[in-house]
Amino acid sequence: MSGRALEGLDDEQRVAAATLRGPVCVLAGAGTGKTRVITHRIAHGVDTGAYSPSRVMAVTFTAKAAGEMRGRLRALGVEGVAARTFHATALAQLNFFWPQLARDTAPSIIDNKVRVLGQAADSLGLRLDGTTLRDVASRIEWRKVAMRTIDQDAAAHPEGLGAALDASALADLQRRYEKVKDERRQLDFEDVLLACAGMLESEPRVAAAVHEQYRHLTVDEFQDVSPVQHRLLELWLGDRRDLCVVGDASQTIYSFAGADPRYLLEFPDRYEDATVVRLERNYRSDPAILGVANALTRGRPGALVLRSDRSTGPVPSVTAYDDDQAEADGVAAAVAAQLASGIEPNEIAVLYRANAQSAPVLSALASRGIAATVLGGKRFFDLPEVRQAVSLLRGASVAPTADGLVRAVRDVLRSVGLTDDPPPAGGALRDAWEARAAVLRLAEQAPEDTTLRAFTDELILRGRSQHEPTLRTVTLATLHAAKGLEWDHVHLLGLAEGLLPISYATGFDEIDEERRLAYVGVTRAARTLSMSWSERSGSRPRQRSRFLQEIGTGTVRAGDAHAMSAGRARR
């Protein structure tokens, strides 16, 4: 167990990275370095000659994660690995093989399922509102990732969509939707996986070509695999066993999208000779924060017990507020105090269960002059001001720049509105200013001899790989959007019954998923964690979340809402 790629790994990580053959299952808790293990394992395989980069397929769930994986592999001197999402991999194979099989180009991908559904509904004489059409789209997505036919779905859900659409009408609408797509030679997002799986199953020469091309498969976030993705993975693998899966059952938060953690939990049963490695040494969070995380998942299937070698930091706090507005004000006051102490805004996050919870916090932050960014909006490189900046910088790069990169970039950005001092927080002008300032910081971080042309080329490459810069703002995000990210300081609000767990989570499995969402939120924090809830929403009383009861008073301390209010009054 030697080699350049194994250097700097802990004992458990090294075992995972050095096991290059046969089925491997890495159970990787939050903050334990799973991406590091995946990339170092591939690099070690290449270094030792066990792998050829072009024969490796590394599959993940987001384009951002795939881009990060490719970047880390490049840093390790490995180029040519097919690191893509499930959908990107399947689409690439469809586009390559379809012309050979059908003597025609592959079907196009529809960009708006709801619009096509609306047209299908119109042709049936159905008048459905946007909400109902979105519900139908969700049902179609669920049916396809679960690999069910329309008739099977109707039998499983005889209630249809309730008063909006009975089961028979729902089935008819789905059939018409499929017919419209077929007539237009179109596929939807889920069809890409189904069509690729169908092609591999029905065309032995295609399956043989894929098996010849890709000898070594790695799957990240394996707890999020759906039935159709798992079937596609089986077809990519064929009768071989060189498969490495990495995941954490405690971070399964996409069951609504078909994620099934049983594929991860039952992997050692499926492959009795599998090497199973447990990564439980957390490199992100202080031990006190891990105490909260471990309390949440204690006794749950597949739960890992996270530990840290760091010295214990501040004990996480739980604060009860009178109402929602008081909670938003209290969290904003706590953020303001952190900023006043010298903490950078991009090191702070406010997390919550539902998007609607962001509005009062945004307002409370803006009233204190604190800029914030809500995750889940447009990607950085798709922002109009960023696209404009890249275009102008590209145009300016044709002429030599005598005053250096930073001066050239600053001059271009000033021409479109970047000022030395930011506008007031809470509006579109401030958001645009923060985006342009982030572009300037990228120039300031570039090597001294970087040309403007090379800088703009790098910006375009970062945009394609979704390698986005960090905005110097406080981050607001839902727990789903926060997965995979981390901040030094996290404020987790809304820990009340009806919010976390959400009101419509009633069954055991649904509550368990809400618990995993809380776990994801807790494990985003590195240095400090504050949790809060409000005792009233308008005139309606609330109860503290059952998850706070599970954490227990021995793991957290009580926050002082009155002290925060007094501090707010002095500002």
32 marked among binding-site residues: yes
| Strands in 225-331 per DSSP E | 243-247, 275-279, 317-321
433 CB-near residues (< 8 Å, 6+ apart):
417, 418, 419, 422, 423
Which residue's entry shows tokens 């159709």?
A: 228
330 marked among binding-site residues: no
378 class by beta-carbon count within 10 Å (0-12 exposed, 13-18 middle, 19+ buried):
exposed
What separation, in Å, do the N-terminal and C-terminal C-alpha atoms of the chain show? Answer: 59
Classify strands 536-537 and 540-541 as parallel, antiparallel or unpaired.
antiparallel
Contact 86, 59 (CB under 8 A): yes
User: Phi and psi dihedrals of 216, rounded to 5?
Assistant: -130, 120
Could you give the dihedral angle defined by the CA atoms of residues 490, 323, 556 and 317, in that order, rounded to the nearest 10 degrees?
40
For the record, the structure tokens of 438 come out as: 């982030």
DSSP assignment of 167-203: HHHHHHHHHHHHHHHHHHTEE-HHHHHHHHHHHHHH-
Contact 206, 101 (CB under 8 A): yes
Under the phi-then-psi rule, with left for phi > 0, alpha for psi from -120 to 50, and beta for the rest, what region is 3?
left
Contact 286, 279 (CB under 8 A): no
Contact 395, 452 (CB under 8 A): no
Which residue's entry shows tokens 């050692």?
A: 268
The answer, yes or no, to whether the previous bond of 400 is cis (omega within 30 of 0) is no
29 marked among binding-site residues: yes
Which residue's entry shows tokens 């199973």?
A: 276
DSSP assignment of 15-83: HHHH--SS-EEEEE-TTS-HHHHHHHHHHHHHHTTS--GGGEEEEES-HHHHHHHHHHHHHTT----EE
Helix/strand/coil for 403: coil
Q: Which residues are annotated as a binding site?
A: 28-35
Q: Which residues are annotated as a binding site for ATP?
A: 28-35
